Amino acid sequence: MKLHGWGRYPVVDATVSHLVREQSALQLITNTQQPLTIRGLGRSYGDSSIGSNVIDLSLQDRFIGFDQTTGLLECEAGTSLHDILKLIVPKGWFLPVTPGTQFVTVGGAIASDVHGKNHHLDGSFSQHVESFRILTGLKEILECSAGQHPDLFSATCGGMGLTGLILSARIRLRRIASSDILCRSLRAENLEQLITLFEEHAASPYSVAWIDCLKGGNQLGRSILMLGEHAKDGALQVAPDSAITVPGIFPGAALNRATITAFNTLYYHRSPKSTAAQRIAYRPYFYPLDSLNHWNRMYGHQGFVQYQFMVPKSAGSGAMRKILEAISASGKGSFLAVLKTFGPGNGNDLSFPGEGWTLALDFRCDSSVFALLDRLDAMVLEAGGRVYLTKDARLKAADFRRGYPNWERFEATRARHGAHGLFASAQSVRLGLL
């Protein structure tokens, strides 16, 4: 079948096997003639979960245990965050860290070491993983944690499915008293104002800014900062799923500078200058994009790439300003981009976050976009930053190594656990991780 990531670029021909029972995993990796690519729900944007020989874990989704007093949850690796929320929210628990969609698996969340709107306080997903079980290339199942096989734990969290097959995991959840979020929106006229606002509200449990990347000059970085915290009282309700679906692939021309500028301007002015806290359900706060099923079809047949990078605080806001200027001058960035602050990194070999700022935005694939992204890579690396692998579809191997200086340690751990030649993806081949 034809297979792609969430960005619908690139597309490969693949044979896909579904893992339903854990017992068949060993047989699968023993009998395989070609390297295996592990796939969860395919929400990574680029080519990290595609290859010619794919093993799909999304049906391996059973709960194993849930201690309602301590909030320790154990489940198979293909369980989605959506299904976990359905189980835990009514019982007064929430995910400790969640990305901007609930349609990712636990295995995918560990393999990308995903972050949420609370990285500045709570770090990334793996920091809340008590342990996981992994089937390695040496055909053994190991229980890994920060204290047990720490080398494999550190390589697997953020390791993009290249160290082995995560089978199940135990996660420490967060207590909540209500499923609602108290949300406050603040307008920032430009990047400098936004960074000041982030600093002033550093104690806010959740924060994220929607930024208009088409604005330049003294409006560069014009944005809306959305702060959030769990309400202290109220009901514990699971948010209903969206019933709206993008019916087919949009014509590419529907998204152009004029339509995007109009959308961004409307969005900015719709938000009042500064608001008192509003009570909203957790879904529109954490997962606004989940309200439109298959929204990735809006970028047309050629698909899109999401570009997410981080620059360290030590490089100063000037580094982010320079990159934003280049994006704004290109006129190519689409819709509103997302800017967040990161707390310190966690030392895993390939985890993306590090103390600083991160920006994510989409670019519709066209002939000129890749040259622009190469230029942005150079600026990001120059500032001491890196590009997020779970969004990537085109980074060069040499630039990957500069951004992820622990790649050699990662490769040494893979070698010790028999991963080379067995676990790979279109991305790993491109990045020279064979």
Ligand X SMILES: Cc1cc2nc3c(=O)[nH]c(=O)nc-3n(C[C@H](O)[C@H](O)[C@H](O)COP(=O)(O)OP(=O)(O)OC[C@H]3O[C@@H](n4cnc5c(N)ncnc54)[C@H](O)[C@@H]3O)c2cc1C
Binding positions for ligand X, rule: CB under 6 A: 6, 38-44, 48-49, 57, 77, 99-101, 104-105, 107-109, 111-112, 114-116, 160-161, 165-166, 289, 390, 425
List the structure tokens of 268: 């900015």
Residue whose CB is less far from ligand X, 166 or 336:
166
Q: Which of 39, 4, 33 is nearest to 18 (CA)?
A: 39
Residue whose CB is less far from ligand X, 8 or 190:
8
Least distance between ligand X and beta carbon 189 (Å): 25
**Distance (Å, whole) CA 407 – CA 349:** 7
List the structure tokens of 327: 């994006």
Q: Which of 228, 229, 94, 244 is nearest to 172 (CA)?
A: 94
Q: Where are the beta strands (DSSP E) in 120-213?
A: 129-135, 141-144, 165-172, 174-175, 180-188, 206-212
Rounded to 5 degrees, φ, ψ at 44 are -70, 145
Determine contact, residues 141/131, Cβ cutoff 8 Å.
no
Least distance between ligand X and beta carbon 287 (Å): 8
Q: How far is CA 247 from the centre of its chain?
A: 25
Residue whose CB is less far from ligand X, 114 or 211:
114
Determine contact, residues 114/124, Cβ cutoff 8 Å.
yes
Residue whose CB is less far from ligand X, 101 or 330:
101
Residues near 258 by Cβ (< 8 Å), separated by ≥ 6? none
Residue whose CB is less far from ligand X, 104 or 152:
104
Least distance between ligand X and beta carbon 45 (Å): 7
Least distance between ligand X and beta carbon 204 (Å): 17
**Distance (Å, whole) CA 162 – CA 156:** 7
Determine contact, residues 44/87, Cβ cutoff 8 Å.
no
Least distance between ligand X and beta carbon 425 (Å): 6
Least distance between ligand X and beta carbon 116 (Å): 6
Least distance between ligand X and beta carbon 226 (Å): 13
**Distance (Å, whole) CA 413 – CA 434:** 13
Residue whose CB is less far from ligand X, 284 or 316:
284
Least distance between ligand X and beta carbon 218 (Å): 29
Residue whose CB is less far from ligand X, 108 or 221:
108
Residue whose CB is less far from ligand X, 91 or 140:
140
Least distance between ligand X and beta carbon 257 (Å): 23
**Distance (Å, whole) CA 14 – CA 389:** 21
Neighbours of 140 (CB within 10 A): 12
Q: Strand 53-56 vs strand 37-39: parallel, antiparallel, or unpaired?
A: parallel
Residue whose CB is less far from ligand X, 109 or 155:
109
**Distance (Å, whole) CA 271 – CA 251:** 30
